[in-house]
Structure 1
Amino acid sequence: MRLSVLIASYNGENYIKEQISSIISQINFEDEIIVSDDGSTDSTIEIIRNFKDSRIKIIQGPRKGLIKNFENAINNSNGDVIIFSDQDDIWGSERINSLIKAFNNNADLVISKSIAVDSNLNPLKGILADPTFQRGLIRNLYKNTYIGATMAIKKSELMKALPFPNSIIMHDQWIGLNMELLNKNIQYEPSGILYHRRLESNVTYNKKQSLFKKINDRLVMGLLILRVMIKSLTKVDNSSE
């Protein structure tokens, strides 16, 4: 089982060394870390190169935002399992072992336990804390608990969700909803902890949204998932003829 850890980087000099250090100590020699950099102007690339590790591969991002940057990383990966990673988190020492255990137990998608922290790794509470993961298509359409940094997925399953539609809000919710729709084996692994920094500079940092935008976002995602459902049912009907 070859692992590909994907990092979509952009001006991540403050924390990316700490994050890569927590990852690289856990992966094997045949695994890889794909860093798709979207045009960093700070010392991010220099910091990554200083690791001098052949398992780390830096590629140029498309400069079309976070979602397309991750898609670029996926398309340049070679692993059997794709693990998403933020550039400013820290992985607990049992993250990889817990993922391997779950995939050996026939998981298609694995969610690790996430502890939301500030820049100094102090735990956060309330609205800034990560939502507790819960299964359910409607549940996650209404309030998403699929957080990209916590997710690892078989590449064969992930490719079914590509290319990412231009109108989706975030790729992690899209992947999770597709897996729910297809009734895949989704496992939660609380032993594989990661410390998820919630910073104001983060793309996914919680900001207040208008009621209109919240409703619109859910409608857009719902219609896209409905389209996938209809397409899936059409394939079943055609195959039965």
Structure 2
Amino acid sequence: MVAPISQVFQHSKPDPQSPDDIPQADIAYVGRVAILVCTYNGERFLAQQLESIAGQTYPHWVVVVSDDGSTDSTLEVLRDYAERWGDSKLSVRRGPGRGYAANFLDVTCDGSIESEFYAWADQDDIWQKNKLESALRRLQDIPVQTPALYCGRTQLIDEHGARIGFSPLFRRPVGFANALVQSVGGGNTMVFNDAARQLFQRAGADLDIVSHDWWAYLLVSGAGGWVFYDASPTILYRQHDTNLIGSTSGVRMQLKRVRMLFRGRFRTWNQRNIAALDSIQCQLNEESRTRLDFFKRARSSRGLARLDWLRRSGVYRQSLWGNLGLVLAAMFNGI
């Protein structure tokens, strides 16, 4: 249950834009956004994140923080902002204490939080002023009963806030065939409507998933919902030593993922995602169920039959090298 903090003590233009280049005009009211922030010992950067939320061009939001047992001054920072903003603007709940993915799923499924739209936020990033506006411009015209998810590219910064690059730019279409073998958007970029939120609730908060953002991509695309990938970054994604999940950009990170693929990590991840999808097959549309079945057959087959079922499943990754790695992984029982 959400409680006041006093009770309590994660397609547009492909060329990235600077925050200074973003128009600052507000858009018309399309609904309230519940910003779900998960914290754990986030005292270093939390205030910067909250200030960037306060500076959004779309002002119709509330912040719900799910704290997973912080032992530093995180709760004191939150108390200060609750006093400044008011309990109606910022509230805090206790997280389940089972890690970041479980924390995000738990707060997302909390029925006491009601809103038209939801956004995930990490404790150490900085949102550009147009973050919510950019997402809502894509989500606002989707029928309310249709699940819809916005995600996108990020501008990378170091622990001091200096810009150091961008996350990979994905150019191929997004959808369930891609989601089965790749996550394209970080949870810190994601905004979704209430129909998507209801999918999370029906699936449940106690699933053994790899990550909440990959699960969101699988769930919404698998149910036949809309997924929007924004090529223009709207958040500054901080890279530092205490990051639980960092960017996938850079040659070193790509080589690390190839090594994980051949060590069986990718196959283990797929098994966990498939088990979660199997538990909610009734929420998937017919095309997604068929694609999932073919992918499962590829995983259980041998030799050329495995490659044939993989081809028939239609799964793909976003890059040429990623797809070559996928085929190699299949040949060596790595999917």
Query: Separation in 1 of the partners of 2:117 and 2:182?
Result: 26
Choose which of 198, 201, 209 in structure 1 pairs with 2:242.
Answer: 201
1:238 is matched with none
TM-score, reference length from structure 1: 0.84
Choose which of 159, 182, 189 in structure 2 pairs with 1:119.
Answer: 159
- In the alignment, is residue 93 of structure 1 matched against residue 147 of structure 2? no
2:280 is matched with 228
Would you say the 8 A contact 1:102–1:189 is kept in 2? no
1:116 positional shift = 2.0
Alignment of 1:68-217 (within 5 A): 68-74=102-108, 75=110, 76-106=112-142, 108-125=148-165, 130-133=167-170, 135-162=174-201, 163-190=204-231, 193-205=234-246, 208=256, 210=260, 211-217=263-269
Query: Separation in 2 of the partners of 1:123 and 1:142?
Result: 29
Amino acid at match of 2:76: E
Query: Separation in 2 of the partners of 1:27 and 1:38?
Result: 29
Larger radius of gyration: 2
Structure 1 runs not aligned, ≥5 long: 235-241
Would you say the 8 A contact 1:132–1:145 is kept in 2? no
Query: Separation in 2 of the partners of 1:191 and 1:155?
Result: 24
Amino acid at match of 2:72: D
Query: Match of 1:187, SS?
Result: strand
Query: Separation in 2 of the partners of 1:60 and 1:231?
Result: 29
Would you say the 8 A contact 2:34–2:117 is kept in 1? yes
1:159 positional shift = 2.2
Would you say the 8 A contact 2:155–2:167 is kept in 1? yes
Would you say the 8 A contact 1:81–1:155 is kept in 2? yes
Would you say the 8 A contact 1:9–1:35 is kept in 2? yes
Would you say the 8 A contact 2:151–2:228 is kept in 1? yes
Q: 1:227 to 1:233 in 2, by over 3 A?
A: farther
Would you say the 8 A contact 2:153–2:185 is kept in 1? no
- In the alignment, is residue 18 of structure 1 matched against residue 54 of structure 2? no
2:15 is matched with none
- In the alignment, is residue 35 of structure 1 matched against residue 65 of structure 2? yes
1:237 is matched with none
Query: Separation in 1 of the partners of 2:181 and 2:140?
Result: 31
Query: Match of 1:41, SS?
Result: coil
Q: Which has the higher contact order (CA 8 A, sep 6+)?
A: 1
TM-score, reference length from structure 2: 0.62
Q: Which moved more, 1:42-51 or 1:214-223?
A: 214-223
1:18 positional shift = 0.3
Q: 1:13 to 1:144 in 2, by over 3 A?
A: same
Amino acid at match of 2:99: G
Q: 1:77 to 1:132 in 2, by over 3 A?
A: farther
Amino acid at match of 1:117: I
Query: How many residue pairs get matched?
Result: 231
Q: 1:104 to 1:166 in 2, by over 3 A?
A: closer
Q: 1:85 to 1:71 in 2, by over 3 A?
A: same
1:61 is matched with 95
Query: Match of 2:115, SS?
Result: coil
Amino acid at match of 1:65: G
1:35 positional shift = 0.6
Query: Match of 1:142, SS?
Result: coil
Identity of aligned residues (%): 23
Query: Separation in 1 of the partners of 2:66 and 2:142?
Result: 29
Larger % of strand: which?
A: 1
1:158 positional shift = 2.0
Would you say the 8 A contact 1:90–1:194 is kept in 2? yes
1:106 positional shift = 1.6
1:226 positional shift = 4.6
1:128-164: CA deviation from partner (whole Å, max 9, x where unpaired): x533345132323323113100100012222213314
Query: Separation in 2 of the partners of 1:79 and 1:73?
Result: 13
Choose which of 76, 82, 92 in structure 2 pairs with 1:46.
Answer: 76
